[in-house]
Every structure is written in C-alpha cells, then in structure tokens.
Structure 1
Amino acid sequence: MRALTHIPPPAGLRTPPLSYAVRTGDLLYVSGIGPLNADNSVPDGFEAQMQLVLATLDKVLAQAGADRSRLVKVNVLLTREEDVKEMNRLYAAWYGPGPYPARTTAVVKALPLPEFLLEIEGVAALG
C-alpha cells in the first residue's frame, strides 16, 4: 500500500473531520470544496460562490505543488439546475482554453450547508 500524504487546508479555513486533499503516489484527491470564507461566512450569489470555490481549489492544489492544469477529473455539484450555464462560463474562464479535465456535473437536493449553491471536488495527476 502506498503512503498517504494529507494536504492541510488553506490558511484560515476551518477543518471539518476530513482532509482537504490526500496524495497517494502521483494522484491527489481533493475533497469537495464549498464556498466558505475564512471567517466561515458564505458569499451571496452563485458567481461569488463559484469564484471562491475555484480560488480555494487553486490554493489546495498549490499546497500540493500542483495547479489546475494537473486536474484529470472534476465533479461539480450544484443545488440549482439554472446555474449550469453560468457554472460552465465561469469554469471555462477559470480553466482557460483547455483541453479540460474529465468532468461530471450533477444537480443535488442539498449540500452540507443550506447556503451552499455548489461544491467542487477533483483528482490531479502530480507526476
């Protein structure tokens, strides 16, 4: 069995009973990231929440020595179907011209906090 390396949360974020990311071999598994500020507040509106989640994802990847170009799989959970188009726009602007990682987008009934409109998790190849 390969050793696991637990990546700490970005500075200031609270730590629920999980690792923000775990490395095994050349793979980094990033836990679902919700739109939570360092002061535990949740921004209003989908765009603000999406921007915060993407910024936090960048920080988690950086702490593992990676960046978004290393993502191979992303899962996006939304609580409102009407946000899919905006999510695609913001995601494309954040990631760049591609090629993009494989991605699943699902609309779910609820996320850990009722204010959360989305959550993103992913897998990165660190090679």
Structure 2
Amino acid sequence: MQRITTPFSYSAAVVAGDTAYLGLHRGFGMSFTEQLHDTFVGLASTLDAIGLTTADLVKVTVWLKDIADLPEMEHLFGDHFDDGEYPARMTATTEFVDADCLLMIEGIAYRSTE
C-alpha cells in the first residue's frame, strides 16, 4: 500500500492495488466558489502524487455545510472535468469542526495496473 500522509490522524490518500481512496480534502477562501476551486487544487495535487488525475476519479462524496450551496456546486463542479466525464457523486450536508469550512470532498480513484 501507498499512503499520502497528513500531519493529522488520517491520510490524504491510500492506494491499495488499483484503487486509491481519498480522505477529506477541503479548500480555503472567503467564498464557496474559492473553497470549491481550492479543494480541487488539493485533490489534483494528491492525485498527482500517486500518478493520477481527476479523470481517474470514479466516485466522490461532496459534503456541504449548507444545502443552499448545492446549485453553485453543481454549476462549478463541471469546471474540473471534461464534459460528460464526471465521477459518480453523492452530495450530503454536515457540520464541520472548522467554522470557516464550507465543503469537503472525499473519493475513490482507479489506477490501472496494466
């Protein structure tokens, strides 16, 4: 297994065979838009560290602090994928420990071993 560790009690990613499990990723910024785009910067960086890209994501869960942000998330989500090449997705709401956090994304990616 390969792990991309963090200073906290979780890994940003764990690769097991041909599957990569991505732990929580969050972005920073004053607005939802800034945080969403920054979250994808972090996801892309983690994926790059294991030789993958966002095109390799097969499933993501987007956690929103406020369900009212869903339309904006839906609108902006496509900025990070080629048209029609989206991962399966579940979106849910939750409260976060960090009061400034508006969203987090976790996911699963496929790494071909061929």
TM-score interval, normalised by the smaller of the two chains? over 0.9
Match of 2:19 in 1: 27
Match of 1:115 in 2: 100
Distance in 2, matches of 1:111 and 1:64, equals 27
Give 1:82 shift: 1.1
Give 1:62 shift: 0.4
C-alpha deviations, 1:31-56, integer Å up to 9, x for none?
01112xxxxxx411100111110110
Match of 2:8 in 1: 16
Gaps of 5+ in 1: 10-14, 36-41
Distance in 2, matches of 1:66 and 1:8, equals 17
Match of 2:72 in 1: 86
Distance in 1, matches of 2:5 and 2:52, equals 14
Distance in 2, matches of 1:69 and 1:51, equals 16
C-alpha deviations, 1:62-111, integer Å up to 9, x for none?
00000011100000000111100111111111112023111000012x11
Provide TM-score, normalisation by structure 1: 0.84
Gaps of 5+ in 2: none
Match of 1:39 in 2: none
Provide TM-score, normalisation by structure 2: 0.93
Percent of residue pairs identical: 31
Match of 2:4 in 1: 7
Distance in 2, matches of 1:55 and 1:112, equals 22
Q: Larger strand proportion, structure 1 or 2?
A: 2
Among 21, 24, 42, the alignment partner of 1:56 is 42
